[in-house]
Structure 1
């Protein structure tokens, strides 16, 4: 299993390369085979949920012209003998159905649930097939299912720890802003700039309406950064010293969540804001891990 883990960390070439290199194939001698489309079922744990209609139509046109150039990865399905579940390649499978194909070239491997889940996430993330929110949710799922840290998750998917941490933070944005990310109206760069503001939802609408660039969004966020509504009563918070601000930044990067450190002469509190139950599970797991 350790060898498989290292191979996954390097990418999917070992999985989707030459058939003779795949040691766990159900029938290694057969290599790539044609599998009837009606015998292939979607993976219920597929991290990708959004498939752009225009992209699917374009891929379907390409498949009609040139066929499916890269095999999908399958494993035997629990539905019955001779049926299969997709591990990697759902976009090709969907487009092939639109193109009217009756069979798909496929590699078949005997994979457990955890390994199939990990491969599905890595395949999507490495090929940048996920939108930023799907990518963030995929990281949370990977860490939860595999019981690994952000740093370990980053190694598995071949990304930097800071990239994973910054992507995870996007799930703290309001639902309407996340929807802009899912639909492609905002990029991850836009969203990261909005994270530091007190009105991410309002600014996001302005960015989308005016078609602002990432740099323009960053400038807008800086201008509006102090506009977050304040309570009418209560003393105004004093600015934090550089050491506390740096500590907050380090914790946010490590956790992928918003962190507030309130220090009063060596006594205070640390607040961690989570946006999903998966994030709460991750906090609990880290605090209780031996």
Structure 2
């Protein structure tokens, strides 16, 4: 996309983008196919590319009960796919609950957008409402990067988050499936999972964290001890064990950079190590250092 178009799209605030999507557009505005309308529910299909994968059945049942009493208060946002057929951009949970409630028609707002914009809007809508678990959020970012050429900086501007937030989210995809499943079902938080990314065998650590209900700080200590045991089984002469302040500083720097940071004290000095996985990450480190 051109710089001008990119700036116009990325410059719009998150609230403005969602508000724009959820409001009927005045007659004559060529950004929309139509304003609100009601369509048969069987004419609306889910978007298979929607980043949201998990729907709590009990929450759906509660929402279905509310819909039976009050109807759908907020229309489902859709895009046309073929004659009188639509695909959901935002509102799949309402659509699912409406089916459970036995509705035959649902209110919709129609937006004529391409695949990229539909995916972008779905991610923005869900992130704003905290409807995505950390894994779904990361998968959505990965999809935009892989299929539509977004950079981490682009995504940060679109969703109103820092580039490091995006980078930290993407790091979660390095975890093995078993740990990712625990992240998806809520057994682990994003903070727990980030602490495990750099460990050689995160699965047993993840199980221990979940079973004991450990805090993120406890998880970070476990992860650091695991990494230390792997890389340096015998303490070097003059080495000093990491205290809580050092571990907290490592965490702060890791979150700020979106990269794994390790600090090692040896005598009166020490080492600061930043691990990067791509040239883009190295360039970002250099940019931050030069800016200082």
1:55 correspondence with 2:56: no
1:193 correspondence with 2:195: yes
Relative to structure 1, the CA distance from residue 47 to residue 8 in structure 2 (aligned partners, 3 Å threshold; closer, same or farther) is farther
Shift of 1:96: 1.0
1:98-134 per-position Cα deviation (integer Å, ceiling 9, x unaligned): 1111111110121122221221222122222111111
Relative to structure 1, the CA distance from residue 174 to residue 44 in structure 2 (aligned partners, 3 Å threshold; closer, same or farther) is same
Deviates more, 1:174-183 or 1:216-225: 216-225
Where does structure 2 lack aligned partners over 5 or more consecutive residues?
240-248, 263-273, 285-292
TM-score normalised by L of structure 2: 0.74
Shift of 1:177: 0.9
Query: Within 2, Cα distance between the matches of 1:158 and 1:271?
Result: 26
Shift of 1:17: 2.4
Alpha carbons 1:198, 1:226 under 8 Å: kept: no
Relative to structure 1, the CA distance from residue 137 to residue 75 in structure 2 (aligned partners, 3 Å threshold; closer, same or farther) is same
1:12 correspondence with 2:14: no
2:32 aligns to what? Answer: 25
Query: Within 2, Cα distance between the matches of 1:273 and 1:5?
Result: 26
Query: Within 2, Cα distance between the matches of 1:129 and 1:65?
Result: 23
Deviates more, 1:191-200 or 1:37-46: 191-200
Alpha carbons 2:10, 2:157 under 8 Å: kept: no
Query: Within 2, Cα distance between the matches of 1:70 and 1:139?
Result: 26
Query: Within 1, Cα distance between the matches of 2:41 and 2:201?
Result: 47
1:35 aligns to what? Answer: 39
Deviates more, 1:222-231 or 1:80-89: 222-231
Query: Within 1, Cα distance between the matches of 2:192 and 2:10?
Result: 33
Instruction: Give 1:26-175 correspondences, 5 Å limit.
Output: 26-27=33-34, 31-77=35-81, 80-175=82-177
TM-score normalised by L of structure 1: 0.75
Alpha-carbon RMSD across the aligned residues, in angstroms, is: 3.7
1:264 aligns to what? Answer: none
Relative to structure 1, the CA distance from residue 224 to residue 129 in structure 2 (aligned partners, 3 Å threshold; closer, same or farther) is same
Alpha carbons 2:198, 2:260 under 8 Å: kept: no
1:253-281 per-position Cα deviation (integer Å, ceiling 9, x unaligned): 66x56699xxxxxxxxx98559xxxxx9x
Query: Within 2, Cα distance between the matches of 1:220 and 1:116?
Result: 41
Alpha carbons 1:198, 1:227 under 8 Å: kept: no
Shift of 1:69: 1.4
Where does structure 1 lack aligned partners over 5 or more consecutive residues?
240-245, 261-269, 275-279
